[in-house]
Chains A and B, each alone.
Chain A
């Protein structure tokens, strides 16, 4: 499902060349889940962005759902994202001007899915927000906002879900609930999951683990 081959990312900064990701390779089959862990600044988000096709590596190749996205242009990668990818972010990334329901409807509408409203409503009910459909993000708590984001991600039934520290902005109790929800839905839909986290409980729920340090792979646990 996902294959990364010697992926490196360098950026130019004032002090010269900076290697933020160094020769990372990985492989993940359909339905498997991977946890990427590591200290802050070790390159987790960078790797996630590359795997999801949001950015291009300096070298190496990445294949996503059968397409070599590193050989594509941005429009092509956008098409792949539209077809196969969903996201959950640390900072939720809900649009403040839209209600919960509209936020979930957004990707469905963008992809021209029929019955977007019903589907969105169904997923919001699934994440336990049946009563909050018309509420705006600022009227919701952090945990509720993240549940909306999860509903949005799963509503378009992606083949692969990328989550960047989905519990990073939440307290432990709320975080656990979000984790359970995430894995429940993952199981129901058979989604491939790539998860960035520094929470042990969350990482331990994944079949495979990869730990980064300063852009290098420190440890890979073979998928269970």
Chain B
């Protein structure tokens, strides 16, 4: 793809307040209706040690690899599959924006399939999430994730974790799935429900064993009944759960290294260590 033309686009539009999206022509653009669009920030993806020409990878790297593996397995089953993950990289950091070509080439260098690169200011990044129909936004910055969530975009925090798994592991917080006396439903609830349904559909393409993705439910403070309600609720949203842990008040941290989730979905934004 032409990075020069990408740069030109930015300069031409006086990049300070504008949002620019560049398609990566090296990667097949997914069917807009079929794909599950996942956005990740550059800061989350490229946080590691830098080479001269290439950025080192950060916290989001194993996640992207896991998403790609799911896509591969889906396409193995059905080469015409349209229910795939579609990854968008969001860059809001102005320093990183100066190095847009470096971002693109680093992505390629690390073998990552990013279909679109979005460059926007910190103030406007939510606009790029909405225009790109992002169904899940992942960031290492809690404020960013909260902002997006408050605008109705399902968001999750990426935390540094131990040895990541090859299998995509999505953790859901049971206490957040069902809150009987909560006030108005969170703004991101519709997005959460629709994402759950798509994820569930994707999960059903595979059998109980040897699946490239696993749905893990953890109920931290609730009792077995509330875990049961969470299981039923998720099932009604079309999402089957693979592993369920009901802790009834026991701390979650001793088992986080065993659960190895890539991220945690809940109402609002919850960090893995919260």
Question: Do the two chains bind?
Answer: no
Interface residues in chain A, defined as those with a beta carbon under 8 Å from any beta carbon in chain B: none
Interface residues in chain B, defined as those with a beta carbon under 8 Å from any beta carbon in chain A: none
